[in-house]
Amino acid sequence: MDRDAPAPSVEVVPPVCWKVARGAAVAGGAMIAAAALLGLVDGSPGPVSTVRLFLVFVGSVATGLGVSWRPEKWEVWAIGAAAAAVGVAGVPAHWDSFRLLFGVLAGIAIFRLLVTAVPPPWRLRVVSAYILFHFAGMFCATASPPPTPWFVEQVYHRVYNQYLQFIYMRNAYHFYSPEPGPASLLACLVKTEAGTETTADGQVRKKYDTRWVVLPKRPADVRDPLGLAYFRRLSITDQISRGMPEFNAASFEKTEVRARRYRLTVPGSDTFYPLHPAEPEFLQYRLPTPEVHRFLLPSYAQYLILEHTPTPEAAARTTLKVYRLEHRTLSVEAMIGVANAGGRPGGPYHPVTYRPYFLGEYRLTSEDPANPRKPRVELVDPQADMLYWLLPVLPNPTPGGPDKKDYIDYLSIHAGHAFDWSTLR
């Protein structure tokens, strides 16, 4: 290659004339202002609102073109900020999301106006101040859950809460501080009647096909490298964990619900489900909120029954037992084995780390007369003894039994079908 060869010619495109860019921005702003004036005359939905939307749309495009043609001019950003601010009033009231959009655009234009108008040394200071403001907000989101200093609490609620909520950066930092709450999985036993069978003693009884369905489940629901599909399904199942704290085991000491539960804690009885020794009694009964047990749970049950039955006839013969598995995170001491018997490290997916709550057994009923195409879902037994109670999974004091398990699984005992805990790993 010849070093002395002349450099290739580069054709430089001249910028758009400032007069043209300014004219387009001003014309667009004038159209938006006309839409705002029409809103003062007639703000109700109708033909006038359609005209206003047309003026705002065309005016926004014209103003945007003017700004994009000469973004180095602070004057064009001033016109754009004014047009966006007027656009809040120019958009009809029932288009409230677009009003919010124009308010945000006005704020962005004002910030760019300041950056463009100040001298270059001050531009670095302005941008640096915003970066510090942003990261201070992330710090407040992390430090705001109690216990927290008074100053951090005041700054978070008075300055940063709305800002972080708007840019959707509050929950990710707020949720994991100081400790993330337990995750919730759904373990559902699908039980389909499949004819009859004769036992060894000659008795004829119904035969069932049973299988467990877990939501969400790994690796089936990990469909992308970051596992977003899995974690989004995890947040959906977490919706059913919402309970009514005012209704718990301590608030109905002499009620029938508590009496039925205590009849099952007598050792040697036909049905025995002890209370969990490591959980307070008032946390072992979780009555779901009305929207959960009236809408979410029946909706989930209907989906799972229809999804896991091949025909409508099979769906009509199917019941679904729903359990919410609350997964507790091990403490550091239990993880490394300091707090465990024998000093053995604890397993983060061991069955004793789960708290299964029975949420009811559901079935499809006859079609709704008001909506014949939509099947109805109902509880098989709304007065079930263990409904909304914790089914403990406890360490086995004598792990050398026939099953060689080091835990006692009352979830499987209650369901009548063994649950494979290894599927949760």
Contact indicator for 204, 197 with CB cutoff of 8 Å: yes
pLDDT at 9 over 60: no
Number of structural domains in the chain: 3
Is residue 5 assigned to a domain?
A: no
pLDDT in tens, 338-367: 766 666 777 888 999 999 999 999 999 866
> What distance in Å separates the CA atoms of residue 402 and residue 381, rounded to the nearest whole number?
33
Q: State the first-to-last Cα distance of the chain, in angstroms, to the nearest integer.
A: 61
The answer as to whether 12 is a domain residue is no
Question: Is residue 9 a part of any domain in this protein?
Answer: no
> Are 171 and 268 within one domain?
no
- Highest mean pLDDT, choosing among 21-25, 260-264, 282-286: 21-25
User: Is the pLDDT confidence value at 11 over 60?
Assistant: no
Please tell me the predicted confidence (pLDDT) of residue 418: 93
Is 171 in the same domain as 309? no
Backbone angles phi, psi at 286, to 5 degrees: -120, 95
pLDDT band, very low/low/confident/very high, at 400 (cuts 50, 70, 90): low
| Band (103; pLDDT cuts 50, 70, 90) | very high
Q: Which pLDDT tens digit goes with each residue over 66-81? A: 999 999 999 999 999 9
Same domain, 281 and 394: yes
**In the listed set 101, 117, 133, which residue is the last one of a domain according to the structure?**
117
Asked whether residue 249 is domain-assigned, the answer is: yes
Q: Is the pLDDT of residue 6 over 60?
A: no
Buried b (16+ CB within 10 A) or exposed e, 266-287: eeeeeeebebbeeeeeebbbbb
pLDDT at 379: 92
Report whether pLDDT(23) > 60. yes
What pLDDT, on a 0 to 100 scale, did the predictor assign at position 5? Answer: 57
Quick check: 244 and 287 in contact, CB under 8 A?
Answer: yes
- CA dist., res. 51 & res. 49, Å (int): 5
Q: Are residues 255 and 129 in the same domain?
A: no
Q: Which of 83, 117, 151 is the last residue of a domain?
A: 117
pLDDT of residue 340: 67
- Residue 216 · residue 185 · CB < 8 Å: yes
Instruction: State the pTM of this model.
Output: 0.65
Phi, psi at 160, each rounded to 5°: -95, -20
Average pLDDT over the chain, rounded to whole? 85
Over residues 116-169, the pLDDT tens digits come to: 998 888 888 989 999 999 999 888 888 888 778 889 889 988 888 888 888 877
Reply yes or no on whether the pLDDT at 46 is more than 60: yes
Judged against a pLDDT cut of 70, whether residue 313 lies above it is answered with yes
What pLDDT score was predicted for residue 57?
Answer: 95
In a domain, 324, yes or no: yes
Domain residues for 79? Answer: 18-117
pLDDT in tens, 194-221: 888 877 777 878 888 999 999 998 888 8
> Are 408 and 289 in the same domain?
yes
Burial of 368 (C-beta count, 10 Å sphere; 0-12/13-18/19+): exposed
Same domain for 239 and 218, yes or no, is: yes
Q: Is 119 helix (H, G, I), strand (E, B) or coil?
A: coil
Q: Are residues 233 and 359 in the same domain?
A: yes
Cα 174 to Cα 158: distance, rounded to the nearest angstrom: 16
Residue 11 in any domain: the answer is: no
Q: What is the pLDDT of residue 59?
A: 95
148, 41: one domain:
no
Burial class (CB in 10 A: 0-12, 13-18, 19+), 316: middle
Tell me, yes or no, whether 1 lies in a domain: no
In this prediction, residue 83 carries a pLDDT of 95
Whether 279 and 385 share a structural domain: yes
Residue that finishes a domain, picked among 92, 117, 142: 117
* 8 A C-beta contact, residue 380 and residue 319: yes
Stretch 51-78: mean pLDDT? 94
Residues 261, 390 within the same domain: yes
CA proximity to 89, closest of 127, 56, 116:
56
> Do 103 and 239 belong together in one domain?
no
Same domain membership, residue 281 and residue 229: yes
Calculate mean pLDDT across residues 88-114. 91
| 3-state per-residue secondary structure call for 277-292 | CCCCHHHCECCECHHH
Q: Which bin fits 46, alpha (ψ -120 to 50), beta or left (φ > 0)? A: left
Distance CA 127, CA 107 (A): 15
Tell me, yes or no, whether 56 lies in a domain. yes
Q: What is the mean pLDDT of residues 12-41?
A: 91
